[in-house]
Structure formats: C-alpha cells, structure tokens
Amino acid sequence: MAEIELIQRTEEFGEKTAVEDWTGSFTYADLLRISHFAALNLLGREEDLGEKRVAFIVPPGFEYVALKLGVWMAGGVSVPLGLTHSPREIEYVIGDSGAETVVFHPDLAHKLEGASFGAGVRLRRLPDVLLPARGELPPVREERRAMIIYTSGTTSKPKGVVSTHLNIKAQINSMTEAWEWSAGDSILNVLPLHHLHGILNVVLCSLWSGARCVMMNGFSPRDVWDRFERKDLTLFMGVPTIYSKLIDCWEDSSARESARMSDSIRGLRLMVSGSAALPVSVLEKWKEISGHVLLERYGMTEIGMALSNPYRGERLPGRVGFAMPGVEAGIFDERDEPLGEGSQGEIRIKGKSVFLEYWGKPRETEDAFCEGWFKTGDIAFLERGGSYRILGRESVDIIKSGGYKISALEIEEVLREHPLVEQCAVVGVADPSWGEKVGAALVLGEGSSIELEELRDWASDKLARYKLPTRLLLLSSLPRNSMGKVTKNAIKQSFENSL
C-alpha cells in the first residue's frame, strides 16, 4: 500500500462525504475504492509506474479526485491539463512532460483533436480507467515526484513545476494549521484544477482534513449564490475576479434577493482571496455585502502558500501578511543581501514546501535559487512588524522609468478609485529616453470616455508626478488567463501596436 500519508489519512474518514458534485455525493470509502481501481488499471501489467507521467483532462468532480489519487497509488506523476487550453497548449504540456498516458473524459475528447502526440502516447477514456480491477499496489515513498503543474507562461514558455509528495504534504500542513481546517469543514470549489490554488488549497487540504469538497463544473455567479443559500458551507476560496463577479450579481439583484444572498454567507468561517492582487475597493465592498474581511495570502506554483494574513487577528488591506507555518521568508536586494523591516526587495522563500525542480530544465532550476532560497521575482515592502506588501513582479509590475522603480500595482489601486474606471492594468511601455513610461489600460463604464490629460489631472494629487500615466489605452475588456490574472505582456503588446 502507498506510504503516502494523504492517502493513509483518507482511510480514517470512512463513510464521511469526501466529494459532492453534480452527479451525487461520494464518501471517503468510495474514493479509496475507485482510486484503487484507477491505480490498477493504469498499472496494467506493470508493478510500479516508477514516476511515469500520466496527463489527464477531466472535469472537476469525484472522478477527477479518484483519478488523481489513483495515479499516485500506482507510483505515477500526475499532470493535470487545463479544460480551457487549446489543442496546441495541451500538445505542449504532454510533449514537455513526456507523458506516456493521457486520460480524457468523453465530453472533452474534442480538446485532443488537432493535437499530435508521439507514437508512444496512449489515450485512455475515463470510464475504462475507473472500472473494477484486482491486484496489488506498489509501495510509494513520499520522496518521489508526485505532480507537475505548468506555470502560466506569462514571461516565457510554460515550465513544469515538479513537487514531491513531501513538498505537497508540507504545503497542506502549512495551510491546514494556518487556516484551522477540520473534519467539520465544507468547501465550495469553483477554481480550475490544473493550477495549485484549486488542487492544493481546496481539494487536497479538504481530503487531508476529512472535510467535504463541493465541486462545481465551472464558475457561474448565480449558481454560486444559489449554492451559498443552502447554508451548509464553512469555507470559500476565490480569485479577485470571482469576487468582483459575485458583487456584480449581488448588485443586479432586487433588495429582497440581495439581503437573502448576504445572509447566506455570513455563517462561513473563512473566505480567502489569492492568485492576484485584491483591489481594496473589492475587499471593502465584499465586507459590506457579507460581513467578511477577505483573507489575502501570497503563494506561487513553486512554493505553495508562503505568506498569509492571520486567520485570527487583524487583516490589513493591500497586505499579504506574514510567513506561514513551516515557511521561512525574507526580502533581498540586487546584490543578494538580506534586508530588514522598512525595506523593499525581492521575496525569497525557504522550506520543505518549495518545489523540487523545473521538469527537464536543470539550468532554469539552478538559476531559480540562491544559497537555498527560491527567488520569486516578486518585489515587496517589508513593513514594521513583519507584514509584507506586494509591490509587483520584477518583470511586469515594476516599471523602471528615469531611474525610478515604480509599482504598477500602486498606480492601479489609485486609478480604480476614478468613478469612470471599472477595470485597469498598468504596465511599462518601452521608451528610448526614459527606459519605460507608465501606460494605463482602462475599461470604462458603458458610454464613458476619458482623455489622458483628464486622467493625469485627476490623479495628480494622489500620485507623484513620475508615477502618472503618460500612455493611455481604452479597452472593452482586459486580457486574462484561466486563473483570472491579467496577462500584462498582452497589454504591453497592445501598447506597442498602438504606437
């Protein structure tokens, strides 16, 4: 039997509900039984997959979870594929990871059409993989590779982030301690399951704790509000875009409906926001609607969750809090020297939760570390008292203009206060004299318009002159990836095209 503690723990919860999806409710005993079948079917005549990669494209639900655990029970490495990815993107992940087996749900077979795989890749339909089977499972030690999650690829081609079972266990332990998970919890998942946020923060923390994970197949604001109204949930985790859409739905409802909606979530014990900077305006509106101060945290595919506002205690807007249990955090200057409170520098992270390697990229892996510290590439201000305030990503959120280092996130927070601005993104636009100039891409309210000088005049008493936008782009919507993050390189390209 697998020596993976996560799987051993699921045996303790027996007839408790593990997963609820649109097809029904499934206990931990159900999950273990079907995962066992999946493992045996994936093994075939092999005794141990020996870290062979198994890629899969499966909707969020019981079958997804059973297959994932089955891959691990068989000694394989799970490679989840994005439901929204194009055949070309899927082809890249399968090819880069060297997956020999690709499991697909029949409803998603069309996502594989047009993609070409090597001769050794075997396609398997999901129902076949979950059918009853007999046999012995291999012992699987926790030092082994367990999962490859591909980064968003916003600055280069996506890289495969490899985590061992020990890395995953450390990440789960950190979150369950910090956010006080228990077997009495029920969490609603609307997040994609090819990113760490949905897989780790929601599904695996839930399984580790003996909690119930309610899965929705995609995100619909109205459906989420309807599900809230059953008042049987304790936890919810989302990205800022999700909270914005829930707010829009609430505002579009009648006074009677909105009062009922607000009442439906007051009983939750925790609501978390992550994966992108949370606008203060969204935090404040959500507090007005729900009574909850969203808990902001900071993490990456490579490190899991590293910083968090406190579960018990004051949560500060615009801050991502303190180092989580088992995590060592610090900020460093460009000479790799550690900096103290009251300073600004790159966040670096140490701990058992930090990933093993970038798949097949030894040089990139080596370059990502400095004396044992993982270099996140994110710039933060370390405040008195030890709380971190994210200033942005060195590559896209820190604008270097005329000798100044300017935080794009700071400017965005100000521009969101403008009554005509619904969404905004600030980027550095290449300039031969200044290095970069501040470019603002705005989505305005319907029928609205604004000139650059008007915007500069309005912002002049809120921002230093060198931080004021000198380029303006009006868009109908901001380009985003599947996690709701704005793809700033696409916006930079739009500025270049407009020039």
429-439 pLDDT, tens digit per residue, is 988 768 789 99
Tokens 């600030």 found at: 426
Distance from C-alpha of 406 to C-alpha of 412, rounded to nearest angstrom: 11
Q: Are 90 and 150 in contact (CB under 8 A)?
A: no
Angstrom CA distances, 202 to 197, 206, 211, 262, stand at: 7, 6, 10, 23
Mean pLDDT along residues 112-120: 83
Query: Integer distance in angstroms from the first to the last C-alpha of the chain?
Result: 62
Spatial CB neighbours of 383, under 8 Å, sequence gap ≥ 6: 319, 341, 342, 389
Confidence (pLDDT) at 433: 67
Instruction: Look at residue 293 and tell me whether its pLDDT is greater than 50.
Output: yes
Q: Are 213 and 206 in contact (CB under 8 A)?
A: yes
Q: What residue spans of 117-270 are helical by DSSP H?
A: 126-129, 165-178, 196, 205-209, 221-228, 240-251, 255-265
Mean pLDDT along residues 233-238: 97
Q: What is the pLDDT of residues 39-87, one digit of tens each?
A: 999 999 999 999 999 999 999 999 999 999 999 999 999 999 999 887 8
Distance from C-alpha of 378 to C-alpha of 298, rounded to nearest angstrom: 10
Confidence (pLDDT) at 460: 87
Instruction: Look at residue 155 and tell me whether its pLDDT is greater than 60.
Output: no
Distance from C-alpha of 52 to C-alpha of 49, rounded to nearest angstrom: 5
Higher pLDDT, 390 or 153: 390
Distance from C-alpha of 395 to C-alpha of 374, rounded to nearest angstrom: 16
The two structure tokens encoding residue 447? 């029928």
Spatial CB neighbours of 30, under 8 Å, sequence gap ≥ 6: 18, 62
Q: What is the pLDDT of residues 469-479, one digit of tens each?
A: 999 999 999 99
> If we measure between CA atoms, which residue out of 386, 409, 396, 199 comes closest to residue 304?
199
Residue 152 — very low, low, confident or very high, per pLDDT cuts 50/70/90?
low
Q: Are 69 and 35 in contact (CB under 8 A)?
A: yes
Instruction: Look at residue 154 and tell me whether its pLDDT is greater than 60.
Output: no
Beta bridge partners of 369: 374
Sheet containing 145-150: which strands, arranged edge to edge? 122-125, 101-104, 53-57, 77-80, 145-150, 160-164, 357-358
Q: What is the pLDDT of residues 475-492, one digit of tens each?
A: 999 998 877 788 898 999
Q: If 0-12 CB within 10 Å is exposed, 13-18 middle and 19+ buried, where does residue 384 land? A: exposed
Instruction: Look at residue 415 and tell me whether its pLDDT is greater than 70.
Output: yes
Q: Are 180 and 152 in contact (CB under 8 A)?
A: no
Q: Which amino acid is at 182?
A: S
Confidence (pLDDT) at 156: 53
Instruction: Look at residue 354 and tell me whether its pLDDT is greater than 50.
Output: yes
Instruction: Look at residue 6 and tell me whether its pLDDT is greater than 60.
Output: yes
Helix (H, G, I), strand (E, B) or coil at 413: helix
Distance from C-alpha of 327 to C-alpha of 304, rounded to nearest angstrom: 10
pTM of the model: 0.85
Confidence (pLDDT) at 153: 53
Which architecture, in CATH terms, is 404-498?
2-Layer Sandwich (3.30)
pLDDT, the chain, mean: 93
For the chain, give the number of residues.
Answer: 499
Percent of the chain clearing pLDDT 90 (strictly above):
79
Distance from C-alpha of 353 to C-alpha of 307, rounded to nearest angstrom: 12
Confidence (pLDDT) at 434: 80
> If we measure between CA atoms, which residue out of 336, 35, 351 comes closest to residue 175?
351
Distance from C-alpha of 251 to C-alpha of 140, rounded to nearest angstrom: 51
The two structure tokens encoding residue 339? 């900096």
**Strand 373-382 versus strand 388-393 pairing type:** antiparallel
Confidence (pLDDT) at 498: 84
Q: Are 317 and 291 in contact (CB under 8 A)?
A: no
The two structure tokens encoding residue 370? 């400095």
Distance from C-alpha of 134 to C-alpha of 439, rounded to nearest angstrom: 61
